[in-house]
Amino acid sequence: MSELKTIRVFCKRCGEWYEESVDMSVLSQSHTGVVSLAFDHGDHVLTVFLDSDLSVRGESVADKVKDDNHEPTRKALDYFDRY
């Protein structure tokens, strides 16, 4: 059974604090002692980097890529046709 803990993170894009649940088992999977977790905020994604004490070591905000073409095979073939 996995243990959940709650962290508070600030999203610079939204300008708001969020409480997020973290499955503690992901921390044991890290070879460096730091894990990255991504949280969907609608039009962007907040990624936080946590150490084993659940301290935030860094964060990053990235825009989501809008993809109107949901056919991955066609997209890959179009890519290779160009190059």
Domain ranges within the chain, ordered by starting residue: 4-82
Confidence of residue 33 (pLDDT cuts 50, 70, 90): confident
**pLDDT over threshold 60, residue 40:** yes
The b/e string for 36-64 (b: 16+ C-beta within 10 A; e otherwise) is eeeeeeeeebbebebeeeeeeeeeeeeee
pLDDT score, position 67: 63
